Amino acid sequence: MRRAAAAGSGTGDLRVLGIETSCDETAASVVLRRPDGVGEALSNVVRSQWEEHRPFGGVVPEIAARAHVECLDGIIAKALTDASLSLSDLDAVAVTAGPGLIGGLLVGVTTAQTLALVHGLALIAVNHLEAHALTVGLTEGLKPPYVLLLVSGGHTQILVVEDVGRYRRLGSTIDDALGEAFDKTAKLLGLGFPGGPAVERAASSGREGRFSLPRPMQGRPEPNFSFAGLKTAVRHQAQALVPLHEQDIADLCADFQAAVADAVADRIARALAIASETLEPGKGRHLVVAGGVAANKRLRDRLKAAAQTAGYTLHVPPPALCTDNAAMVAWAGAERLARGLSDDPLTVTARARWPLDPDALPVLGSGRQGAKA
């Protein structure tokens, strides 16, 4: 049996099983990390729950948790089979321990604890946001420092990734996450769930410029985001057009998407200017975009232009590794294990909130569970 005691010595390959159950994807993956830091996903299995949640227009936490319970064991078995490995071949199991829906997180964490204790594996509790932040190391071999834009259903943040475990927040949303704004706009217009792809499809046949929509926070000195007002503006335009015709919906989606792209590009330009003041000359001039909304082509095009103007190179992982997946979790675990970092399987807990940068002031407020991520 492989033992994690030698982890961090850099003398051998690391094989890590990753488990992801933070929202509505049940996923498992096995990743190989070589001593030189090069990584390879040996398997990546994802089961989406879209059909279970589609009738409700969004993710229902109880349904998500039950679905994880029903299929996680089988997905882990398939990930091992696809990688041509058994549990005895592994060095560690990495699991998303937060942030996310607490019911789903508990399913993944409990499973990982059991595997680690029964099979003598190291356990790494992974922050879901850190997994997104480090994915580009698996896909392109890019190492910190770099600037990260994380845009997903639950999170919209800009951070400087200084190193594994070291993150400095530059900006965040003061209300809705960008993915949430896409989902709610799609629901408002009757486009179904998930909202991001639905809005992008409708926008492809729309005409930009018909509706005057705001570009929230544009020109502000701090690189924060706001999408609640834009979402409200879309609702007002839609209500004024009732009954909505297909072209009305397409045009609204086109203008919503254009407003989002303009607003995010403006915020990123400001963030890159701030980052350039603190990064060493010639280092870190990379903009990494992660999260499900990174799949939007209109947004990627605007971000590429903004990055080039600022002297940065844009990096976007493949779409399958932008949305929630376990390969990114396994890779984050492998990166931590290579530095000799692991967790006690008996004390790891699921955390609904887990800021990646705990020293940053909360933008969305805080409570008994701590600052929101």
pLDDT, tens digit, for every residue of 108-149? Answer: 999 999 999 999 999 999 999 999 999 999 999 999 999 999
- Model pLDDT, residue 59: 75
Same domain membership, residue 348 and residue 235? no
Same domain membership, residue 172 and residue 35? no
Task: Indicate the SS3 state at residue 292.
Answer: helix
User: What dihedral do alpha carbons 177, 183, 185, 186 form, nearest 10°?
Assistant: 160
Same domain membership, residue 363 and residue 342? yes
Same domain membership, residue 330 and residue 284? no
Instruction: Give me the phi and psi of 156, to 5 degrees please.
Output: -140, 105
pLDDT in tens, 70-85: 999 999 999 999 999 9
**For the chain, which ranges sit under pLDDT 50?**
1-9, 366-371
- Model pLDDT, residue 370: 45
pLDDT in tens, 322-358: 889 999 999 999 999 999 999 999 999 999 999 888 7
Same domain membership, residue 87 and residue 204? no
- Which of 130, 193, 74, 160 has its CA nearest to residue 355? 130
- Model pLDDT, residue 323: 87
Token pair belonging to 61: 């936490």
- Model pLDDT, residue 2: 37
Same domain membership, residue 183 and residue 259? yes
Q: Is the pTM of this model over 0.75?
A: yes
What domain count does the chain have? 2
- Model pLDDT, residue 8: 45
For 216-220, which contacts have Cβ atoms below 8 Å and span 24 or more sequence positions?
216/263, 217/263, 217/266, 217/267, 218/262, 218/263, 218/266, 219/266, 220/270
Same domain membership, residue 107 and residue 91? yes
- The residue out of 316, 334, 358 marking a domain boundary is 316
Domain of 157, CATH number, reads 3.30.420.40
Domain that holds residue 22: 4-139+321-371
- Model pLDDT, residue 368: 43
Distance CA 22, CA 99 (A): 7
